[in-house]
Amino acid sequence: MSAFNYKAPAELYSSSSKTGKRPMRYTRFKNAAEAIKYAVEVLPPELLLGSTLEVNEERFDGFGIRALYDSDKYPLRRRKAG
């Protein structure tokens, strides 16, 4: 697997259901870092669980999105805890 490109364009599909039984919401971002920040910091936690991030034809579920956000290579400033 190659290194993740946080600067690549990204698409975020968010759903309020882990099972996908509710309609998905689609948002396109200029870069993956912004999409990840939005998914983790703006979406309610239950929406993150049902979300999928697509970057360069690679898909990440809610846990994968969170791992990308928590990575030492994540380029943006994170929201302060608390």
pLDDT by residue (tens digit) across 58-75?
999 999 999 999 999 999
Query: In percent, how much of the chain has pLDDT > 70?
Result: 84
Residue 13: closest CA among 2, 3, 23: 23
Residue 75: closest CA among 1, 6, 3: 6
Partners of 28 in the β-ladder: 11
Is the overall model pTM greater than 0.75, yes or no? yes
Q: Show me where the domains of the chain are located.
A: 10-70
Residue 33: closest CA among 70, 77, 74: 74
Q: Which pLDDT belongs to residue 1?
A: 45
